[in-house]
Structure 1
Amino acid sequence: MPAPAERRQITGFSNPTVKFIRSLREKKHRRREGKLLAEGLRLLTDAREAGHVPEMLVLSTQRDPHPLLADLEASVAAAGGEVIETTPDILSKITGKSNPQGVAGVLAEWDTSLNAIDRTSADIWLVAQALRDPGNLGTMLRTGDAIGAGGLILIDDCADPFSVEAVRASMGAVFTQGLVQARWEDFLPWLRAGEGQLVAASLRDAVPYRGAPYASPCFVMVGNESQGLPEPYEAECDLRVTMPMKGRADSLNAAVAAAVLGYEVLDSLERG
């Protein structure tokens, strides 16, 4: 087991470091600092294994020992990061949770421009337009990981993918999936500059989603939770598909729709 790193002790709620880490729960501070806050050993281990080593690691004095935690601590120290030890009450204030896990970390955000991804690296990509709920965003990242998608492309004004809620909901997929934030007027020319089929669930000139002619790389797009996709966006799609609604509901949750379509595209492309 790696030797423990040298730890800095923090015992006061008013400590500037505590205030700084706690501030990362707010979007304006995350944007200003270019950093995000993540909590939990599993989440931070996924981050480390994906190449995102925390710059700052905060440990509870009442944490349980674990080999993965020792590895994480050693990785942070080796990368020149800082390891802090503090009380459960202070860690609770940092994370905003009454019963926090024994470890939290501060990580640097990364490039989320269209130029940061390679469309040929995967057969499926998920696209969300004006997705507002961080839980849905995190679920879409998990779905992308499950179906082997290249990543999630967020169009227009979406929830912040680096929020504590979205990172937690992603169950680590925010670190394993490609992530892009772009405006529609930038995304569409980028898409049309290379190969790529844009697909959306729709009622306009749509075909049944099962057995539809999906093609790789397939960009599966869903819209805002309450408004859906704007009509001009749907008009630009290469393929519009419809899913049967047997009950009284007239639509699926955005993240659920992405999962249903994503698995159908995966099955179709694997069958050739």
Structure 2
Amino acid sequence: MSGERPRPGAIKTVTSAANPVVKEIRALTMRKHRTERGLFLAEGLKLVADALEAGWPIRTVVLSEDLESQTRAAQTAATARARGALVVMASEEVMARLTRRDNPQTMVGVFHQRLVGLDAVEAKPAPVWVALEDVRDPGNLGTILRTVDAVAGAGVILIGDTTDPFGLEAVRASMGSIFHVPIVRVSREAFMAWRSRFPGVVIGTHLAGAVDYRTVMTDKPVLLLMGTEQRGLSEEIVAACDRLVKIPMAGKADSLNLAVSTGVMLYELGRNRLSL
């Protein structure tokens, strides 16, 4: 079997997990290979269809042989092929190896990563941007992307040593919102150098915040800063905030999960700004 990749827009049937195309896709489960190649995986017919509808550049789509006769799957595969993607028909065994699940997804897409720069924040100071510092949990990140999408947020800025937004768990948790929410990834130094140019109010959540989150009202663009799951915002980032707010705890818990607290903040800001 040739190790050369089939030409763009081709259709190929694969029955062995040792196939070079399968190996290439499986390598994308590791961050190193995703970063080197600028590619990532999206699992499931809905996510692949959402990505294509959003205009994301696609490299490969793999679908189960059992799915070929289903109308939406066939249409999605045809759209991908028309955009130059390799379309691979795979056995259930191969699909299981690709997704590493006992009950594998019936479609997997390989897409090119897409990030925006801080200049996009300057040019489009839309309702609310969320900035996350050193977030490590991919499930939290994916859920936050989904919530930002739900409230029509402007985008997400990832500061410092964040988890990979294009990792499988983050993409799954986003439920397709990764294809609709602009993402910026910057160092802490680059963010701090840029922060003064943000044309609005910078709000951070902090246990030491003196302001109840329900009292923050502004019609200016908002940059909402959220910290790590373990220690919250660093002192450097705290100093960059115009306002520090807190979410009161009525019970015995002293904090909320990062994705939950971000959701609480976004919906409160949205209630005041977007009539949510």
- TM-score normalised by the chain length of structure 2: 0.91
Tell me how far apart the structure 1 counterparts of residues 222 and 237 of structure 2 sit (CA, whole Å): 16
In structure 2, the partner of 1:108 is 112
Question: For 1:13, which of 17, 25, 39 is the aligned residue?
Answer: 17
Maintained 8 Å contact 1:60/1:103: yes
Report which stretch shifted further, 241-250 or 133-142: 241-250
In structure 2, the partner of 1:93 is 97
Amino acid at match of 1:190: W
Q: Aligned runs of 1:199-218 on 2, under 5 Å? A: 199-218=203-222
Could you list the per-position Cα deviations for residues 126-155 of structure 1 after superposition, in whole angstroms to 9, with x for gaps in the alignment? 111111000000000000001110111111
Report which stretch shifted further, 233-242 or 211-220: 211-220
Maintained 8 Å contact 1:124/1:216: no
Tell me how far apart the structure 1 counterparts of residues 17 and 28 of structure 2 sit (CA, whole Å): 16
In structure 2, the partner of 1:184 is 188
Q: Flag the 1:11–1:201 CA change in 2: closer, same or farther, 3 A.
A: same
Amino acid at match of 2:91: T
Tell me how far apart the structure 2 counterparts of residues 86 and 26 of structure 1 sit (CA, whole Å): 22
In structure 2, the partner of 1:219 is 223
Verify: 1:43 aligned to 2:12, yes or no: no
Tell me how far apart the structure 2 counterparts of residues 119 and 7 of structure 1 sit (CA, whole Å): 41
Tell me how far apart the structure 1 counterparts of residues 145 and 256 of structure 2 sit (CA, whole Å): 17
Tell me how far apart the structure 2 counterparts of residues 248 and 142 of structure 1 sit (CA, whole Å): 28
Tell me how far apart the structure 1 counterparts of residues 62 and 120 of structure 2 sit (CA, whole Å): 30
Report which stretch shifted further, 192-201 or 127-136: 192-201
Could you list the per-position Cα deviations for residues 9-56 of structure 1 after superposition, in whole angstroms to 9, with x for gaps in the alignment? 111121111111000000001011110011101111111111114210
Q: Flag the 1:265–1:80 CA change in 2: closer, same or farther, 3 A.
A: same
Tell me how far apart the structure 2 counterparts of residues 77 and 214 of structure 1 sit (CA, whole Å): 47
Could you list the per-position Cα deviations for residues 187-243 of structure 1 after superposition, in whole angstroms to 9, with x for gaps in the alignment? 233232240211111233521111223342111111100111112211210111111
Look up the SS of the partner of 1:181 in the other structure.
strand
Q: Flag the 1:237–1:144 CA change in 2: closer, same or farther, 3 A.
A: same
In structure 1, the partner of 2:272 is 268
- Superposition deviation, residue 68 in structure 1: 2.6
Q: Aligned runs of 1:107-256 on 2, under 5 Å? A: 107-117=111-121, 120=124, 122-256=126-260
Tell me how far apart the structure 2 counterparts of residues 263 and 113 of structure 1 sit (CA, whole Å): 26
Which structure 1 segments of 5+ residues have no match?
none
Maintained 8 Å contact 2:62/2:87: yes
**Count of residues in Structure 1 that have an aligned counterpart in Structure 2:** 267
Tell me how far apart the structure 2 counterparts of residues 224 and 22 of structure 1 sit (CA, whole Å): 30
Tell me how far apart the structure 2 counterparts of residues 16 and 121 of structure 1 sit (CA, whole Å): 44
Tell me how far apart the structure 1 counterparts of residues 54 and 136 of structure 2 sit (CA, whole Å): 26
Report which stretch shifted further, 185-194 or 153-162: 185-194
Maintained 8 Å contact 1:122/1:148: no
- Superposition deviation, residue 64 in structure 1: 6.4
Amino acid at match of 1:175: F
Percent of pairs identical after alignment?
Answer: 39
Tell me how far apart the structure 1 counterparts of residues 257 and 182 of structure 2 sit (CA, whole Å): 22
Maintained 8 Å contact 1:131/1:158: yes
Verify: 1:78 aligned to 2:89, yes or no: no
Root-mean-square deviation over aligned CA pairs: 1.7
Look up the SS of the partner of 2:67 in the other structure.
coil
Report which stretch shifted further, 44-53 or 117-126: 117-126
- TM-score normalised by the chain length of structure 1: 0.93
- Superposition deviation, residue 184 in structure 1: 2.0
Amino acid at match of 2:79: S
